[in-house]
Amino acid sequence: MASSTQPTVPMVGFSGSVAPDRSLINTCIHCGLCLDECPTYRDLRVEMDSPRGRVQLIRAVGEGRLSIDDQSFRDHIYLCLDCRGCETACPSGVKYGSLIESARVQATQIGNIPTGLKIANAVLRHIFLRPNYLRLLATGLRFYQRSGMRALLRRSGFLRLFPGDMEQAEAMTPRMSSSFLDPTDLPLVEAEGPRRFRVGFLTGCIMSVGFAEVHRASLRVLARAGCEVVLPPDQTCCGSLSLHTGDRHTAREAARRNIDAFHAADLDAIVVNSAGCGSTMKEWGELLADDGRYSARAGELATKVREFSEWMAQIGASPGGRIAERVVVQDACHLNHAQGITRQPRDLVAAVPGVELVEMDNSGLCCGSAGIYSALNPDLAGRIRDEKLAAIAATGARTVITTNPGCHAHLRAGLEAARSEVQIVHLAEFLDRAQRSV
């Protein structure tokens, strides 16, 4: 007689060299000090959507008690913003970012990722690593945004016909620049006055097409500080967006291309004005540790990476002329929690004559952008942003200083939706404005 017992699906655990490190998992003592620093837990109040809960999910898969192809594992692991706020709060030093990214690598390898993320990863892999394709896409997006098509589509309600919250996701798309910055057209910027340093400059992906004016301001500030700036024409996306979503293969390929582009330039530093890019590039040595051809060069160049505020504070930036404004600094997560940089942007802003620098409550909390997170989870990202906007409004500041394109675009969309008069600018734009007012 045939058995009536249904066949069971075997448990699928972690495997390979990029499996989450069990010693890191065991570092978590379940104290819960991370809970109030986690934006998803603060909003949802679900244990599995806290750092402590996600560590337990990773532990369960590692021990074979939960399958890596389980839907609940996918849902909770990918609802994390990977902001690393929990790392700053953790008394045990849990390297949560490493754990969550390793878990996502494993989930990506078997295809247990959200559908929207599959599409996003394909775009990152096939378009963002090819600057010509990216500029072509950005040109089309710029036409859509500025031709009236965007306003017409929004008024029509057509976006509401799509599954998910397409309307909110579209609203969080960065505004494309009027003129892109192509390093093939600007391979070198001369220092103003005597050359003090020779530095490389990452143009990257979104920054070059959506924040080209930030790049140009950064280059002017660097040149005034005596930096000769090299923009290698062969550089590409840094790979941080792919790394954070679990597509390690694409992230490694991006790292290799950029290492090839920057390695021969004889640089004192590689300056990066995007916090997320900077944190990833500083980890190149770890990302390519097992690559016999690139490991040594990756480690060497990683030590030269400097985030923009970090570098300008190190070499001394001219404070420029007077700006009489109340200003608040928005701490980008991958500047604060991943790189441990909070003082330098504040010192640079405070040095500008006339500035009243104020602090917001819970300044270390994520704004909800988290790379492409806000486009994939617009409702939750919007609620997280609302808390940040309320904190900004309470300061009475008229200007918000940021150091990351995701924060910039996400907060700007929120401010515009609220019809706020508060402006958000990159630190480089603020310094450039001060210096040009002398």
Residue 2 predicted with pLDDT over 50: no
Mean pLDDT to the nearest integer, 343-362: 97
Q: What is the pLDDT of residues 150-171, one digit of tens each?
A: 777 777 776 666 655 666 667 7
pLDDT of residue 317: 87
Closest CA to 71 of 115, 27, 101: 115
AA letter at 428? A
Closest CA to 169 of 117, 99, 107: 117
Contact 396, 360 (CB under 8 A): no
Q: What are the E-state strand segments in 273-323?
A: 305-307
Q: What is the pLDDT of residues 212-227, one digit of tens each?
A: 999 999 999 999 999 9
pLDDT of residue 9: 46
Mean pLDDT to the nearest integer, 59-88: 94
More confident residue, 19 or 54: 54
Residue 394 predicted with pLDDT over 50: yes
- From residue 298, give the alpha-carbon distance in Å to each of 104, 128, 130, 246, 281: 23, 21, 21, 20, 9
Residue 435 predicted with pLDDT over 90: yes
- Cα separation, 209 vs 190, whole angstroms: 23
Residue 254 predicted with pLDDT over 60: yes
Cα end-to-end distance, the chain, whole Å? 92
In the chain, % of residues over pLDDT 70:
94
Mean pLDDT to the nearest integer, 371-386: 92
Please give the structure tokens belonging to residue 361. 């409550």
Pairing of strands 227-230, 269-272: unpaired
Contact 30, 52 (CB under 8 A): yes
Q: What is the pLDDT of residues 177-235, one digit of tens each?
A: 999 999 999 999 999 999 999 999 999 999 999 999 999 999 999 999 999 999 999 99
Mean pLDDT to the nearest integer, 345-364: 96
Among 17-26, 102-111, 248-257, the range scoring the smallest mean pLDDT is 17-26
pLDDT of residue 397: 97
> Which residues in 46-78 are b (16+ Cβ under 10 Å) and which e?
eebbbbbbbbbbbbbbbeeebbbebeebbebbb
pLDDT of residue 18: 80
| Tokens 């710029």 found at | 142
Please give the structure tokens belonging to residue 330. 């928005």
pLDDT of residue 164: 57
Name the architecture of domain 318-436. Answer: 3-Layer(aba) Sandwich (3.40)
Residue 7 predicted with pLDDT over 60: no
Q: Would you list the domain boundaries of the chain? A: 22-113, 116-171, 188-313, 318-436
CATH fold for the domain made of 22-113: Fumarate Reductase Iron-sulfur Protein; Chain B, domain 2 (1.10.1060)
Q: What is the pLDDT of residues 39-60, one digit of tens each?
A: 999 999 999 999 999 999 999 9
Q: Which residues pair with 198 in a beta bridge?
A: 228
pLDDT of residue 150: 75
- Cα separation, 282 vs 304, whole angstroms: 8
CATH 1.20.1050.140 matches 188-313: yes
